[in-house]
Every structure is written in structure tokens, then in C-alpha cells.
Amino acid sequence: MGILDTARGPAASLRGSPRGGASQAERGMTLMAVAMLLVPGMDALAKLLSAQLSPFQIAFIRFLLQSAFLGGLLAWQRRLAVPAAALPRLVLAGALVAGAIGCLFWSLTALPLANAIAIFFVEPLLLTLLSALLLGERVGWQRLAAVAVGLGGALIVIRPNWAAFGGMALLPLLAALFYAGQLTVLRSLAGQLPATQVQGYSALFAALLLGAALAIGSGQGVELLAWDTPQGVAWLYLAGIGVLSTVGYLLISGAMRRAGASILAPFQYLEIISATLLGYLIFGDLPDALTGLGTAIILGAGGYVFYRERRSAQADGPRPPE
């Protein structure tokens, strides 16, 4: 699901600091809005590609392109070296994000685009729980109540999709859990490595792990891990993924340099609008009433969690940028 790790997770999990005045913040918000509207385009292309390629092959190519771009950027910045102590967590982050994007692309072989992304949006809620359990972050009863409400909204979305698509409806939820785990690992690295290194090495290890899985799976005849040579228009779709990946990274990086995470976080919900529009225009899909209700509950709960996190951060005082 999506373009880059920072683009696919909640902006509230990214700790940035604004630079400049109101005009800079406005530019940051504009860049973030454009990025969030572009992100579902990656998922739409993956759904189109699923007619030719396995979802995990698509995920592998996605991370290969991303790691190539970020690797070139790191080489230009002379930041290729990372501390050995950070490598195990970067490998774990790569494995988790590979599982997240692979499961999400797998779900798109069956589920409508907007439905899959709506279920995946429980990720900020799961991140709140994992941050409390694994990182010891303080989470009050208000946020826990919001998490429970949001998960209830996810069940509302899953129920009709379960009836239509069976267990495939749980794949976006599993993807959200993997992705929340990956962001939890990245939070533990905050302040130790530059963001470009974290993203670049996570993508590299995701590509390596998916490549190994595809090699083994193809040899064993596992259809889900089969490797097929792209044909015809598939090359254009893959090129589109590469372009969106690069443009999206530049837009989000530019936004985070100009405005803080507390300003940019709400713009993540533009993904739902874009996903619904693309799902209708490309695939003729529109969410039903129950999916719309569940999505509204999930977004409302996520927005409240963001609000409480912002209030908590303000109460704790300013923190240094990571």
C-alpha cells in the first residue's frame, strides 16, 4: 500500500519541526496534500498489475526501485555507512514493511481499493497500542477508548467484505499490524540515524527478503510467490510505481522540512478520498453504506488519537527534532 514508509504510515508518527513562518507551513501542507492524493495511485497500479504478476513480486519491485533511488541519494550525501548496532532493527523493519506491503497488495487482488485502504487505516490505532506496550509510551484511557472504537469501525468494514471475499478481508488488517510494528521499530531508532538512512535501508532489506522468498517460492511452485516476466503495459505500470515513489518521497520530505508533524498529520486522510475516486474511475467500485460508516468511525477515532497525542506532546513541552 503506498509509496514510501513515511507516506503510508500516520504523519503523527513522524516527529518533525517547522522551519520558517506561516508561508513555509502553508507550502508544507500543500506538498503533503499532493503527496497523500498521489499515494493511492501506487495501490491502484499494484491492483492493475495483479492481473499479470504476483502481489509479492510487485512488492519486491516496489522496494527495489525505492532502495535504488534512496541508495543513490545516500551515496550522493556520503551517508551509506550505518552503525552495526542499528542493523538488526533495520532488518526487522524491512521484514515488517515487506509483510505489510505484500499483504496489502495481496488483498488488492480481491478487495476494492477504497475498502482495503479503509481497513488499513486502523494502523495509527495499532501503532498507539504497540508504542505503549513495546516502547513504554504513555497512553491514557481516552486514547485507549478511541482505539477500541476505531477497531469496532474496522469490524464494520470487514463484515460485508468477509461475506464477499472471505479471509482476504483480513489481509489489510494484517498489513496494518505489520506496518504498525515497523513504525514502532523506526520510532526506537529515532534520533540515532537520519531519516533517509532509515528509509533506504528498510527498503533494501525488504527487497532482499522478498527477493529470497520469491526465489524459494518459485522453485517450490508456490503460486503466490511465482515470478513472471512483465509483459506489455505492465512495464508502464512498474515505471509509474517508480515515478510515484520518487515524487512522493520528495514531496513528503519537502513537507516535513517546512511544517511539523502536528500540522501535517490530518492530511493523511486525503488518501481515502483519492482511493475512493481512483477505485471508481478505474475499477468502477464504490464503497457501500456499511463501509462508509466504518470508514468514518476509523477516521474519527484516528483523528482523536492524533488530537490526544498532540495535547500530550504540548503538555510535555517541546522536543528536539529527530
Tens of pLDDT, residue by residue over 287-304, are 888 888 888 888 888 777
pLDDT of residue 313: 61
Residues above pLDDT 90, as percent of the chain? 34
- pLDDT at residue 243 is higher than 90: no
- pLDDT at residue 78 is higher than 50: yes
Is residue 237 very low, low, confident or very high in pLDDT (cuts 50, 70, 90)? very high
pLDDT of residue 17: 46
Is residue 321 very low, low, confident or very high in pLDDT (cuts 50, 70, 90)? very low
pLDDT of residue 11: 39
111: which DSSP letter? S
pTM over 0.85: no
Rounded mean pLDDT, 69-90:
90
For 153, other C-beta atoms within 10 Å of its C-beta total: 25
- pLDDT at residue 39 is higher than 80: yes
- pLDDT at residue 322 is higher than 60: no
pLDDT of residue 260: 72
CB 276 within 8 Å of CB 30 = no
- pLDDT at residue 50 is higher than 80: yes
21: which DSSP letter? S
CB 106 within 8 Å of CB 56 = yes
Whole-angstrom CA distances from 40 to 24, 148, 272, 291 are: 26, 26, 8, 18
Angle between helices 87-107 and 22-49 (to 10 degrees): 60
Torsion of CA 212, 215, 217, 220, to 10 degrees: -130
Nearest Cα neighbor of 229 from 63, 48, 52, 101 is 52
CB 303 within 8 Å of CB 45 = no
CB 156 within 8 Å of CB 118 = no
Residue 59 — left, alpha, or beta (φ > 0 → left; ψ -120 to 50 → alpha)? alpha
Is residue 126 very low, low, confident or very high in pLDDT (cuts 50, 70, 90)? confident
What digits encode the pLDDT tens for the residues 146-187? 778 877 888 888 888 888 889 999 999 999 999 999 988 888
